[in-house]
Amino acid sequence: MPNYLLSKRSFLTATVAIAALLAAGCGGSTDSSSSDASPTSEWADGLCSAITTWTSSISSIEESLKGGDLSKDSLNSAVDDAKSATETFTSDLDSLGKPDTDAGQKAKDSVDQLSTDLKAGVTTIQEALDGASGIAGIIAAAPVIVTTLGTMGTQASATISSLQSLDAKGELESAFKQSSNCDKLAG
């Protein structure tokens, strides 16, 4: 099986893992309105909303690359879409600030690192596209792009896992449970 097909599976596995990890902390929403939500719940809601939007976009991009009808234009479109989705996602992450918990700064540092890693991933896929000329270049660039998208999904999943391990007092878990966007992600 070609490596890029394995990386597609890795990305889909990472996307499912993100949902599963958040589901562990996202059960039984208390359906609180935003005015009743704690700052930590609002942080969790923003995080889950950003992840939901980004993973949906990246999954769509991956599906478009699975069709096998690759051209410089289709790769360019996929890279542009991935860049746009990731720029929005990292902007959303950057604007989250830190949650109002004991481990708030560590959580912010984890999210900031994810943002940095995802920006590096976008650079990698742009470089792969820029280096692709002719059919051989397209064939060589496609697996790099797909693999990098998979790595980006894994990085997001690892960050969510990291956030849960920082939460010794269960403050983030409680915030995830209060977030309607985390419920949507878990569902």
Residue 75 has φ and ψ, to the nearest 5°, of -65, -40
Q: What are the residue boundaries of the structural domains of the chain, listed by start?
A: 3-22+37-186
Instruction: Classify burial at 181, counting beta carbons within 10 Å of its beta carbon; exposed 0-12, middle 13-18, buried 19 or more.
Output: buried
pLDDT, tens digit (0-9, with 9 covering 90-100), for 91-105: 998 898 888 888 889
pLDDT, tens digit (0-9, with 9 covering 90-100), for 108-126: 999 999 999 999 999 999 9
pLDDT value at residue 167:
73
Which of 177, 151, 169 is closest to 6 using CA atoms? 151
Spatial distance between the Cα atoms of 117 and 156, rounded to a whole number of angstroms: 9
- Whether the predicted model's global pTM rises above the 0.85 cut: no
pLDDT, tens digit (0-9, with 9 covering 90-100), for 1-47: 444 444 444 444 444 445 444 444 444 344 444 456 688 888 888 99
Which residues are within 8 A (CB) of 94 and not within 5 positions of it... i.e. 6 or more apart?
A: 112, 115
Q: Helices 171-178 & 39-66, crossing angle to 10 degrees?
A: 70
Q: How confident is the model at residue 136 (pLDDT cuts 50, 70, 90)?
A: confident
